[in-house]
Chain A
Amino acid sequence: MKFFLPFILTWAAMAADTAQSSYAAEFGKRWTATRKLAVGVADAMPANEYAFKPDPPSMDFGEQMVHIAVINYAFCAALKDEKSPATAKPKEKTDFVKLMGDSFDYCSAQITSVSEAQMNTIHSTPDGKLNGRELLLALYVHLAHHRGQAEIYLRIKGIKPPPYVF
């Protein structure tokens, strides 16, 4: 038994590292729910208002949407230390909405397959060096911060944003 114990401990540690992260699995459920709201916000703004911004220093509505999507890709690629996929610059409203949805789907695939070891590793992210858990929190609050701005853009244009989902 004494002889085998180190091997058993090493095997147990390795198995834990390659197992899917339960934290990420729970987070993945919330990510799927919040996709609906983010894509709904992008879809709610009429095409001719995508260039609207409430004041000069701010991003316009379309830039907010692209910013959310591009940073989604960047965080979720970083979760597995991969290169962020290239994205085409959107022209039409349908391109913006698709970009938003695609970025969420990409993240969902990354989140549902991330291992416990990758969750505990330090990654280079848009917010600096973060472990996998910090990365997911940063991803979510970044989305919320910009979506919260876009919701007021919609309100200024007399549009009620889609209901909050959690």
Chain B
Amino acid sequence: MIWFLFLLFTGAAMAQENPLSADARRDYKTIQDYVIRSAEKMPEDGYAFKPTPEIRSFGQLIGHIADDQFTFCSAVKGEKQSSNFEKDAPPKAQMVAGLKRAFAYCEPVYASMVDAWANQQINFAGRERPKLTGLTFNTEHAWEHYGNIVVYMRLKGLIPPSSEKSK
């Protein structure tokens, strides 16, 4: 009886192994998909478009998201990695390729994430925070900029990927 209860409890615990990380990984996949599809959908000449002169062009916005993948994921990984896509604002083909490389750099960091990271502190964005928060912040920050992208696309007469009808 005792062994049965023991197995029952440990079995349930194993089934729920790393649920926090699994949730966070799913959400990252969604935003990656929307940002890459936005970058692909915007025509080349739209990359220099900005709704108002003081702010980032569409290309710089995509570059900013790409740069942040290196900045935030390397901070979580304990490495120093950076890129200059926002500053350099390369043509569309190079920007899309760079964006994909940036997400690909983060991918293994998200894949290696475990729930124990919720209790490990790292210095991130100016203060001590749980390592897990570094990655969920990266996801949320990308969503905020995807919100910017949506308006740029609408102003160019394009339907953002999140509003496209599923086929």
Assembly CA distance A69 to B118 (angstroms): 28
Residues B27 and A141 in contact, CB atoms below 8 Å apart: yes
Residues A166 and B137 in contact, CB atoms below 8 Å apart: yes
Assembly CA distance A35 to B58 (angstroms): 27
A133 vs chain B, min Cβ distance (A): 5
Residue in A6, A30, A150, A164 whose beta carbon sits within 8 Å of that of B133 in the complex = A30
A75 at the interface (CB under 8 A from B): no
Assembly CA distance A30 to B145 (angstroms): 18
Assembly CA distance A9 to B8 (angstroms): 11
A37 vs chain B, min Cβ distance (A): 9
Residue of A with least CB distance to B50: A155
A2 at the interface (CB under 8 A from B): yes
Within A114-152, the residues touching B (CB, 8 Å) are 120, 131, 133-134, 137-138, 140-141, 144-152
Question: Interface of chain B, helix or strand or loop or mixed?
Answer: helix
Residues B24 and A137 in contact, CB atoms below 8 Å apart: yes
Residues A144 and B118 in contact, CB atoms below 8 Å apart: no
A2 and B2 in contact, given A13-B9, A145-B143, A148-B146 (Cβ under 8 angstroms) = yes
Assembly CA distance A134 to B22 (angstroms): 10
Count residues on chain A whose CB falls below 8 Å from chain B CBs. 37
A163 at the interface (CB under 8 A from B): no
Residues A9 and B147 in contact, CB atoms below 8 Å apart: no
A106 at the interface (CB under 8 A from B): no
Residue in A22, A141, A149 whose beta carbon sits within 8 Å of that of B151 in the complex = A149
Assembly CA distance A131 to B130 (angstroms): 21
A149 and B155 in contact, given A133-B20, A134-B23 (Cβ under 8 angstroms) = no
Stretch at the interface among A54-62, A81-89, A92-100: A54-62
Which residue, of B26, B52, B162, has the highest number of chain A Cβ atoms within 10 A? B52
Residue in B6, B27, B52, B154 whose beta carbon sits within 8 Å of that of A58 in the complex = B154
Assembly CA distance A5 to B139 (angstroms): 43
Residue in A6, A141, A151, A164 whose beta carbon sits within 8 Å of that of B143 in the complex = A141
Residues A148 and B150 in contact, CB atoms below 8 Å apart: yes
Assembly CA distance A4 to B145 (angstroms): 55
Instruction: Give residues in B with beta carbon < 8 Å to A.
Output: 1-2, 5-6, 9, 16, 19-20, 23-24, 26-27, 31, 51-52, 54-55, 118-119, 125, 130, 133, 136-137, 139-141, 143-152, 154-155, 157, 162
